[in-house]
Structure 1
């Protein structure tokens, strides 16, 4: 009887399930509403106030505010560049975070904190619009509207007391309206010295936090507490008028004008080391001022000579004689391939006596590393004469107030006439040097000399 009752029980269970599914399906079909209609689409002007309030947060700022501009081109750029920006940003974030983590973990008796995974995901942020302000100051102010609903994967491995825990941040959402100020604007690339970032309102931050696979944000009350805590902390640090300042250039150095001229006379080199296997070397000297973006100056090439004489003079503008130095590098010229470095040395300008010629015999070094044992080898010597002539205040004011030639009408204050006279060229190098000519470009305007066949 037990066997038969078991068989009948299974049959009854199967029949009951089947009968219930059939009845449920027909009840579902029977109770479907038969008067289904397409939703009524009404113009925006006919919407009630409540519906409009629900729609407003989703409408881009450039629709609601005429002072916002569309920047779809930027969103397209981010979409194409995001795979590369993702890797670059994550690499930078790791480099910044590692020393900070190493400094903080001893306070909490944690053995180590390491990134197991760090990616910003496949979804780039989008800019809903951009507002640009113009002021009388040397600055550029921008206010983009940023929204990022991304799928990043940030996984940290934390070791403490012999145990390891994995913390993962997923499903990040950030809605923010930052104010980005570039100032002061300077005549040196990238044309601004500092970046100031502040928030015009509290940002919206939402994310998931998993510990050993369990979602901590599902704990009642914790999600709201963490979200409000992050909003308050970020607002306390960066809510306008508080700012995050990132220095790009030293404004004092970027705006500095020349305060003097360094006259350099490269006289000779002595006992240079042979670089070529066959024959002597072909030396020349390259001169450059440190902390300056001006192009280097070069002497002529002295072919097959280990004791060359140049007696060539150069003039270089100096902005900060206390910190700048003259860098002299001797190269072996090669017709094909990279020019070999024969030796170098550096002369700090603060060691020069102003307005007095300083004749120096410099030992050539491999580099400026004092711990490099190869610097003990003798590489030859370079003889130069240096004369630093600082500008006098009277001369500087005189030059500004009394230009050499009267400027034409419409010239801005402090402007003048730039006169360029091309005299000659010597030892021209390059692929197309048989018929040379000179191009002079100033503020987009170009002039050419005659071709010399």
Structure 2
């Protein structure tokens, strides 16, 4: 009896074991098939799809295998970082402080570094790719992430006294483009060009804290610093803008590598339709701001109490790289105090064919970062006409001189209190140089210089302006 029961129990156990094994294999097979389906689906996603799923912090090599990992380089960078950080801190202080002065609002007497140290945590290189190998140069893109511990204190001199503000919790996510210009003699590199790629857009996150106090008692200071940082990055560090570093040992004309005007963009702001009304009583008072570079913003006249305004104003803006730059169009509601943005849109200059006029009907958005937009309501449209003209060599030189003249004129306007920052949009309502409006410009040399420069950089670059937040 015991033998029979033992045989039966063994058979039952064996059958159960086989059934369990078959079920496990079936489950694993189903998981493999599911993963294969998921991988096939992921392989069809582009950069924007992956960003929506994973956020902005995923390494470039995940979605674009042309980026090679560089673990060995991170190890060496960690060892060298104390020396690199010390040298980089000195270079940043020398090069960035003049920019802080150029971009600071008039409400601030001075803006400079009280302390600047890049800390002990080295940046992490997530991936590297060789973008191109042209004769005489090597272009390299570096996917860089940095959650550092720098000690950065800004000294903000205001009419109420000096305010030290510390920058904390710094995080940087960007792709750095480095171009090596080669030479036959040692050190084999004549110049180095460094810039941040515009796609993916550089992210610099941080928090601000008043040393020994709170920023809540200083309204506008935090926004002012945020605007200054964003303008400096967009206008000086983001491709096609670049930093040119001549290398020792080989004589080189660095001006050959600096950014130069490539073409002229003629923008006619025609009209807007069905704008969002932000007024409790009456209707919004809209005007439009257009720019390719934040430092050269120009704006239309304001049309009162109208959600379907017509401007028909024409501006001429400089572009340095049609393949990467965009035209930004913003519609604002003029208000007492701070003007409110009704909508924003952009047009890639690469979509324009030189010498061919194009009319575009732009759908206005609450923000260009659609992932962070909470207000999904329709904000209307803005119609513009565009014409891109590619410069000849002679026109390029003339445009470069006009651009320098405009920068000097804007500095004079800032010193005179006409604008609060060199990045403010300049009002067209009092301009005599617009193709669509009349009137008298600013008296004095500033107005005269801007009228001359307006031929290339914006035909309405004169008049009084408010700060646009």
Specify the TM-score bucket, using the shorter chain as the normaliser: 0.3 to 0.5
> TM-score scaled to structure 2, two decimals?
0.37
Report the structure, 1 or 2, having the larger helix content: 2
> TM-score scaled to structure 1, two decimals?
0.38
Q: Using CA pairs under 8 Å that are at least 6 residues apart, name the structure with larger relative contact order, 1 or 2.
A: 2
User: Which structure's CA Rg is the greater one?
Assistant: 1
